[in-house]
Amino acid sequence: MAWYDSLDAGHTVTHELEIGLRLVLAAAAGAAIGFERETKDRPAGLRTNMLVALAAGLFTIITFEIYHAFKGANADPIRIIEAVTAGVAFLAAGTIIQGKASVHGLTTGAAMWMSGALGVCCGSGYYVLALMAATLTIAILAILNRLDIGAPKGVIPEMRTGHGTDPRA
């Protein structure tokens, strides 16, 4: 199978619109939790929780898709995801720096975890799935970072240096 054959809608067991809906809903669920954390001035806020939820949704979807793609094989494709998740989590933990009154690097850690999920998708040939998730991730990071301009103090502390994650993360 050529790489461009996987760009058609029939490559996944689950319809791509359903996958897109699942990813958007995962990001929205993370946003709800993140917004709540923002109102309490916690370091892991809106962007961090959105990325974590989006990555978890993507890992779940890709696990389901890989399982169905390799039904007859003796290999266990779930081990791929376990290994990537553990490795990326270890790397992401290294980006988190805790000071006296702040935590920096949470969004970077969540973005690294998301990158791991995207890598699993691309490595498995699920290019459309990876493109949808990458687009959502970029939107979360870029658009929500712009909300910091003019935001009242305490509304989006995660995006303020010294009150959560570094906005450049």
| Percentage above 70 pLDDT, the chain | 77
Cβ–Cβ < 8 Å for 110, 52: yes
Q: What is the pLDDT of residue 72?
A: 64
pTM equals 0.65
Among 13, 2, 16, CA closest to 130: 16
Nearest to 31 by CA among 50, 8, 7, 53: 50
Range of the domain at 88: 15-159
Residue 38 included in any domain? yes
6 within a domain of the structure (yes/no): no
The CA–CA distances, whole Å, from 6 to 16, 110, 115, 125, 148 equal: 12, 28, 20, 7, 39
- Mean pLDDT is lowest, of 7-11, 16-20, 37-41, 154-158, for 154-158
Q: How confident is the model at residue 165 (pLDDT cuts 50, 70, 90)?
A: very low
In the chain, what's the furthest Cα-to-Cα distance? 56
Per-residue DSSP letters for 47-87? HHHHHHHHHHHHHHHHHHHHHHHTTTSSS-THHHHHHHHHH
Q: How high is the pLDDT of residue 129?
A: 92
Helix (H, G, I), strand (E, B) or coil at 97: strand
35-67 pLDDT, tens digit each:
887 887 766 778 888 998 899 889 888 888 888
Q: What total of structural domains would you count in the chain?
A: 1
Q: Is residue 169, in this structure, part of any structural domain at all? A: no
What is the predicted pLDDT for the residue at 144? 79
The whole-angstrom separation of Cα 87 and Cα 72 is 28
pLDDT in tens, 119-160: 888 877 888 999 999 999 998 888 877 775 555 655 555 555
**79 near 87, Cβ under 8 Å?**
no
Report yes or no on 10 lying in a domain.
Answer: no
Q: Which residues pair with 104 in a beta bridge?
A: 97
Q: Is residue 167 one of the residues assigned to a domain? A: no
In a domain, 5, yes or no: no
pLDDT of residue 163: 47
